[in-house]
A and B are shown apart, each in its own frame.
Chain A
Amino acid sequence: MVKMTGAEAIVEMLKRQKVKHIFGIPGGATLDLYDVLYNSGLRIILARHEQGAAHMADGYARISGIPGVCTATSGPGGTNLVTGIATAYMDSSPVIALTGQVNSQAVNSSYLIGRDAFQEADIIGITMPITKQNFQVKKAKEIPSVFKEAFYIASTGRLGPVVIDLPKNTQKESAEMDFSSPVKIRGYNPIYIPDPVQIRRAVELLCNAERPIMLAGGGVIASNASHEAVKLAEAILMPITTTLMGKGVIPENHSLSLGLLGMHGTIVANKLLHETDVLLNVGARFSDRTTGTLDDFCPDAKIIHIDIDAAEIGKNFKVDLSIVADAKRTLIEICKQITQKMIRKERSVWFDRIQQFKERYKDLLIKEGGLKPPKLMVELRKLVPNNTIVATGVGQCQMWAALYFKAVEPRTFITSGGLGTMGFGLPAALGAKVARPDVPVINIDGDGSFRMTEQELATSVLEDIPVIVIILNNSMLGMVAQWQRLFYGRRYASSELKDSPDFVKLAEAYGVNGVRVGSVKEFVNAVKEGLNNDVTTVIDVPISPEEDVWPMVPAGAGLRDVIWSAEKKK
């Protein structure tokens, strides 16, 4: 037992959990916490909007694999975090959000919580459906155990965000703190070890398959199982397609990589999926953007689903075999049991078919001439090292990056997959750079998305976190405009961004480098320069407002009905 204030206990707990950075904005209800953080040795990073702070913590967590911490004051501080927390929740990212709260107990006769005090918001009620768990500290002495539980919950099982609400008095008051109590949560027992019977059945199905495909999701990356996934794929000649969250599981230049699946997946993945007889889904959740209409989703395949979250089994899609366990341990077990002579079907036919498909559609959509996003992404890949991290905005820019910037290592591509949060790119890139200061970090953004969190350029300057921002500037809410162009008779309701500021001047106003490019050559030079700069570089890339993202599976269609030009639209 040690006597200290609640705020001191919070910082002690952060240190014990190996936290080194905290992203946030202070306020009345977190003054006590910030006062202790001030000379704690932790790096406090001042964001310019709490949404940015949450995305930074999220970007940090996705890259490092350990919880990222953000903080905000009570009321509007907490509500500003909400979009960031929901983003982390949808993509199962371990973010810890600390919110200030008004006094929960009489302090100088002011007992406030529940009385609509100044800057009071029910952040517990608000964040309940978008967190894995949340806590309101009632007494300072609970802080060590609450923090232990919070970090344990965020970073085990299916990862996810946790909110800790800290009434001001619990930060201020002193108590005897017990840091030694073990974590025990009766209703929480994540399962990691796969059931051996299910493993045997999976091995059987895979060995008997003629045309197996693996669908790898974010779960593979979260459990650091990319190596095992590729090893299994190579052992049984099973190609891998990924979800947006699974991008990077297999090097996308690998002969067994089919690229992305889904609404904006590759032609190859979307068409071949229809032919598979055994689909092995590892850590993906059959989201609607990935499957297209379920009526036409690999109709002839036996489906195996591996997920650490039992509630994902059968949620969207009924499967033939399920394994609730950690992806890495499951893949290791499967690999162990498969030997070459067990593979009863000839796979070379399937392998050849895949290579033929890949050859047929290779570079089909990468056009030369002018500033075409696919071409720019291909050029970018050539310029930057393999460990370069890419973060994205949301919209066409995101899909161009996902389709045409080939990831070759896991944890090098982060994007708001589940929630599709515009504004994720820049702050997530900053968080990623804090996690990996040694590698280049590039935010591939849209002009609309960038403007939702552009103020974090100030954070990048003040905190000395240099990144490269590439704005694919179509002066449009491009993805909205694409749908209006294809399905709403070109009626561009509210999708034109005619008022966009001069991004070069805007960058300069923040004290970062700004450059506008007019050709692929200038783009290449600007990126090269950005890589050598020790301040952030914003590259404004004016592109045609009429550019569409191809391929595309129209809403309501099956994956094999993928189209890759407007003429093919039925």
Chain B
Amino acid sequence: MWVKKNMTIYQTYILAFIVENKPGVLYKISNMFRRRSFNIESLTVGPTENEDFARMTITVKGNENMMEQLTKQTNKLMEVIKVTVLNKKNTVMREIALIKIFTVDSKTRSDIIQYVDIFRGHIIDVSPESLIVEMTGESNKIDAFIELSRPFGIKELARTGVTALKRGIGENKK
């Protein structure tokens, strides 16, 4: 059987990379994604506990075959120390969103405050016509809050993309 790209249903995968913390690595990895037609949905990057390494968390849509190719191709890059496809069951995932919402009257303002409360977010800035909500959590929670806020009118939105860690001990470098 040959590998048909659309053989299985697409889903979102979260990949964790430990890479060398030096210039050009992000370009190299994203360039490889582009060249092999993998589409990055979100990407976060920052140093690890060891400053020689950086951690990149990338979410991509695809199927199992594509993930296999993707991990093999990225593993081939010499700056990549380790690649793991995270299993959502034993992974903690977080994303932060900053959402600026219109507050035309005091009714909407109090409605929003209530929703923020229920979602355990924070209001971090208030001005006469708008406020900024900080929402942290798994991406689907953020999606839900955004949907809820849409009727009020979202003025601006910034999302960090997912960052993630495997639960418990593990994650030893190669």
Contacts and interface: CB of A to CB of B under 8 A. Distances in A.
Contacts of A314: 3, 65, 68-69
Contacts of B20: 186-187
Contacts of B32: 129
B124 interface: no
Interface size class of B (residues with CB under 8 A): 20 to 34
Given A310-B72, A314-B65, A185 B2 contact: no
B2 A318 contact: yes
Contact of A128 (B31, B72, B76): B31
A124 B81 CA distance: 21
B2 A311 contact: no
A500 interface: no
B69 A315 contact: yes
B2 A316 contact: yes
Given A316-B3, A317-B3, A318-B1, A187 B68 contact: no
Contacts of B79: 187
A315 B65 CA distance: 9
A294 interface: yes
Contacts of B69: 311, 314-315
A301 to B, nearest CB: 12
Interface size class of A (residues with CB under 8 A): 20 to 34
A295 interface: yes
Residue among A129, A185, A297 with most chain B CB within 10 A: A129
Contacts, number: 52
Contacts of A309: 76
A133 B24 CA distance: 12
A189 B77 CA distance: 11
A318 B28 contact: no
Nearest to A187: B78
Contacts of A133: 78
Nearest to B2: A294
B21 to A, nearest CB: 12
A146 to B, nearest CB: 13
A316 B69 CA distance: 10
A129 B35 contact: yes
B75 interface: yes
A315 B3 CA distance: 8
Interface string A302-339: 00000001110111111000000000000000000000
A189 B72 CA distance: 13
26 contacts: A124-B24, A125-B27, A128-B28, A185-B78, A186-B81, A187-B20, A187-B77, A187-B78, A187-B79, A187-B80, A295-B2, A297-B2, A309-B76, A310-B72, A310-B75, A311-B75, A311-B76, A314-B3, A314-B65, A314-B68, A314-B69, A316-B2, A317-B2, A317-B3, A318-B2, A318-B3
